[in-house]
Amino acid sequence: MTAWWHNALIYQVYPRSFNDSNGDGLGDLPGITAKLDYIADLGADAVWISPFFASPQKDFGYDVSDYRAIHPDYGTMADFDALLEACHARGLKLMIDVVASHCSDQHAWFQESSQSRDNPKADWFVWVDPKPDGTAPTNWLSFFGGQAWSWEPRRQQYYLHNFLKEQPNLNYANPDVVEAMLDVARFWFDKGVDGFRLDAIHTMKADRELIDNLPVEDFVLGEMPQDKQPFFRQRHDTGQLNQPAIQNFTQRLRALADTYGDRYLMGEVHGEDYMAVSDTFTQPGRLHATYNFGLLSWHGLTPDEIGEALGQAHRHFGASQRLTFALSNHDVPRSVSRMALANKVALEDQADLQVMLTQMQTALFSSNCLYQGEELGFEDSDQLAREDLQDPWGIEFYPAFMGRDTCRTPMAWQSTADNGGFSTGKPWLPINGRHQAKAADTQVGRQGSIFERTKAHLAWRKLQPALLEGDFDMMEGPEGTLVFKRGCAKQTLICAFNFNASAVTVEGQTVAPYGAAFIEAA
């Protein structure tokens, strides 16, 4: 029997920006429930919701202070239960974002652990003595800037945080921590949650080794601030990230998930050799799949670069279900903006480009994640002022880098309503005016809109054996195109995607500018 996640379209909801039900300017769980018919109508198979747990919101939910509680901004546990029931009533699976590698410094576990070296939670986090000269124990750096170590005067020790200092790393070398997180997983599985997206699981600290990161010897200064900050001048797989001991936890979690029958585990991982890292995390008895970063380049990708990324993925994994593809998420600029920049696509052609990108993504092997607003053609927001910024990463590196708020602005549901119909109150981030002009109410049911063209493709896709079970082979195509073949015993399709401003011919068929063609082959 085919697992539900095989070839699934997973619709990602960033809850703070999706739909506000109570007028406080923040999206919430009842707001998501109110829009489930919209998601189901589009043709999604599952919904993945970014964190809504109790949290000080230093990193907007990715700093959890209680894994079994709902942040009041998002609602109550009763609201979550109602959302889960409503998803299942519509045939939608529900996945939640579990931040297992670290928690908030406001979590009761860390509050107790930080008091002394001999309390019951003393070894639940990564505490290390300073070097003889008082400096941090290693040269590890935080992704968000500065050292990955902060000093706790009560313990006279440093603690590890791969992100903000308010996000201390849990110590998975301690069996009690492993059991505690497995108990969290049981709690949500028992409720009926269908799967987890495991945030930054490669950043877990699961052994007690302290090895300095080596430098990136061939480092080249890039255009974006991420490529300029010191973090990217180190090889993190040397000692800081992707430690083999992490797999002790993935195996335990998979064994637990399997007792529930059909639960899905998708891990966010990264590393210097990304494909090797993904392979390690998805070996038998570990995670079902990893979230593939190959198509999420901050600068966008040309057809040749996309083909290279897909070819690499296929060489490592075949047409298996061990990768989940995405073109956008809450951490990178929106796909149409990135790809338009990389391929010099004019503004008037970007609606066609967006539809074509979704058609391309969903023609690939394995499951796919579609970020909220992609089905409406939302571009990255360039209308944020300095005082609008909320993302700690952007605030830290402004003005060189605006952070991730540009892809997190709220959904626009109504073209003429205040705040795009997202909220009756002031939204936490400004509504993008261009988004409001193409809000959902201007597209749903309107023939030829981005939404309806996307919906039609997704419905057609579910009827194509080649796209659901076929193998994958890259093909040569005209300049500025991406062409590949999906084939099985029942059907063979040549899938052609034209990134040019003029039509091209593939296998005797005309492919429109910024269009796609699916050609039946013998």
Q: Are 93 and 87 in contact (CB under 8 A)?
A: yes
Provide the pLDDT for residue 14. 98
Distance CA 170, CA 204 (A): 7
To which residue do tokens 């020790």 refer? 157
User: Model-level pTM?
Assistant: 0.97
Q: Are 407 and 12 in contact (CB under 8 A)?
A: no
Q: How far is CA 421 from CA 79, 162, 272, 416, in A?
A: 21, 37, 43, 8
Q: Which amino acid is at 436?
A: Q
Provide the pLDDT for residue 86. 98
List % helix, strand, coil for the chain (3-state, nearest 5): 35, 20, 50
CATH superfamily of 9-103+174-205+242-387+402-459: Glycosidases (3.20.20.80)
Q: Are 262 and 189 in contact (CB under 8 A)?
A: no
Torsion angle of alpha carbons 219, 401, 270, 321, nearest 10°? -130
Helix (H) or strand (E) holding 256: helix 246-258
Of 268, 352, 374, 391, the catalytic one is 268
| Category of 284 on φ-ψ map: left (φ > 0), alpha (ψ -120 to 50) or beta | beta
Provide the pLDDT for residue 238. 87
The string of DSSP letters for 453-489 reads: HHHHHHHHHTT-HHHHH-EEEEE--STTEEEEEEE-S
Question: By C-alpha distance, which of 104, 246, 253 is closest to 164?
Answer: 104
Same fold, 9-103+174-205+242-387+402-459 and 471-520: no
**Is 133 among the residues known to form the active site?**
no
Q: How far is CA 432 from CA 150, 175, 382, 447, 452, in A?
A: 38, 47, 8, 24, 22
Helix H segments across 129-222?
175-191
Distance CA 29, CA 386 (A): 29
Provide the pLDDT for residue 424. 98
Torsion over CA: 205, 246, 197, 435 (sign): positive
Provide the pLDDT for residue 26. 98
The string of DSSP letters for 272-331 reads: TTHHHHHHHHTSTTS-SEEE--TT--TT---HHHHHHHHHHHHHHHTT-SSEEEES--TT
Provide the pLDDT for residue 397. 84
Strand partners, 47: 11, 94
**Is 268 among the residues known to form the active site?**
yes
- One digit per residue, the tens of pLDDT, for the chain of length 522 reads 789 999 999 999 999 999 999 999 999 999 999 999 999 999 999 999 999 999 999 999 999 999 999 999 999 999 999 999 999 999 999 999 999 999 999 999 999 999 999 999 999 999 999 999 999 999 999 998 899 999 999 999 999 999 999 999 999 999 999 999 999 999 999 999 999 999 999 999 999 999 999 999 988 887 776 677 889 999 999 889 999 999 999 999 999 999 999 999 999 999 888 899 999 999 999 999 999 888 999 889 999 999 999 999 999 998 889 999 999 999 999 999 999 999 999 999 999 999 999 999 999 999 999 999 999 999 999 878 899 999 988 888 888 888 999 999 999 999 999 999 999 999 999 999 999 999 999 999 999 999 999 999 999 999 999 999 999 999 999 999 999 999 999 999 999 999 999 999 999 999 999 999 999 997
Which sequence spans correspond to the domains of the chain?
9-103+174-205+242-387+402-459, 471-520
Question: By C-alpha distance, which of 256, 199, 249, 254 is closest to 51?
Answer: 199
One CATH from 2.60.40.1180, 1.10.260.40, 2.40.128.20, 2.40.50.140 for 471-520: 2.60.40.1180
Distance CA 133, CA 521 (A): 70
Close Cβ partners of 341 (under 8 Å, ≥ 6 residues apart)? 299, 300
Helix (H) or strand (E) holding 85: helix 77-89
Count the neighbouring beta carbons within 10 Å of the beta carbon of residue 183: 12
Provide the pLDDT for residue 228. 76
Torsion over CA: 474, 476, 482, 488 (sign): negative
Provide the pLDDT for residue 2. 87
Of 63, 199, 237, 375, the catalytic one is 199
Provide the pLDDT for residue 463. 97
